[in-house]
Amino acid sequence: MRVLVVEDERVLADAIATGLRREAMAVDVAYDGAEALEKTSYIDYDVVVLDRDLPKVHGDEVARRLVADRTATRIIMLTAAGDVDDRVEGLDLGADDYLAKPFAFLELIARVRALGRRSAPALPPVLERSGVRLDPGKRLVTRDGAEIALTKKEFAVLEELLRAEGAVVSQEDLLDKAWDEHIDPFTNVVRVTMMTLRKKLGEPQVIETVPGVGYKL
């Protein structure tokens, strides 16, 4: 899942990003509204965690533009103002969810995951195919009932393959969804991650390479 955190309080922004990365999400950070609009212009995010009170371009205007562009990106607004009128105003701008500061981080994670499932055709909370079962909420992967320990990137790659429901996922799409904007597009990290993931999932192999196209499960 690809997430953009937009928050001008740098310590808070970096803390949110670090926490979401620990949940195997690919996370970028923008510290003002103008930077957020720039990043969303060339990266398709599943979820944007958006503070309302931003410098340069206000969070409300960022939300308006994202909604006007009719993207599949889901928006969760963060604000220190948590009364009913503020929540209604944020939702009326087109936000999909609203969370008042201070908030419990576990609740933010749950809401981001829920919105991520809604950024594409509806998928069940637990993904399963060919005996492989992945529970994003519990960070748990099993094959035929046996638990498998994966790294964060292996988990993220497997999640994207399962979300595709048998369709081919290109290397570019895996880089986009499982790694952040700092990744070298010419790296062989996807191939290496796929090798270790296949080894951990065991025999018979369930991940197929489609030459020149990508991978499918």
pLDDT in tens, 19-33: 999 998 999 999 999
For 152, half-sphere exposure in the C-beta direction (CA atoms, 13 angstrom radius) is: 15
Give me the residue label for tokens 């990137």: 153
pLDDT of residue 120: 60
Decide if pLDDT at 119 tops 90: no
Band of pLDDT at residue 79, cut at 50, 70 and 90: confident
pLDDT of residue 117: 78
CATH placement of domain 2-117: 3.40.50.2300
**Domain 2-117 matches domain 127-216 at the CATH topology level:** no
- Closest by CA position to 29, among listed 52, 56, 2, 5: 5
Band of pLDDT at residue 133, cut at 50, 70 and 90: very high
Of 13-17, 69-73, 108-112, 142-146, the poorest mean pLDDT is in 69-73
- 106 or 89, which is more confident? 106
pLDDT of residue 34: 97
Residue 182's SS3 state is coil
pLDDT of residue 112: 94
Distance CA 37, CA 46 (A): 15
Band of pLDDT at residue 123, cut at 50, 70 and 90: low
Instruction: Determine whether domain 127-216 maps to CATH 3.30.43.10.
Output: no
Q: Residue 159's CB: how many other CB atoms inside 10 A?
A: 21
Tell me, what DSSP letter sits at residue 169? Answer: B
Q: What is the mean pLDDT of residues 102-114?
A: 92
Q: What is the mean pLDDT of residues 39-56?
A: 93
Give me the residue label for tokens 């809604």: 118
pLDDT of residue 81: 64
Band of pLDDT at residue 121, cut at 50, 70 and 90: low
Q: Which amino acid is at 27?
A: V
Distance CA 28, CA 47 (A): 11
pLDDT of residue 84: 66
Strand partners for 5: 29, 49
Query: Global pTM?
Result: 0.72
Boundaries of every domain in the chain: 2-117, 127-216
Distance CA 186, CA 125 (A): 33
Give me the residue label for tokens 């205007």: 61
Decide if pLDDT at 46 tops 70: yes
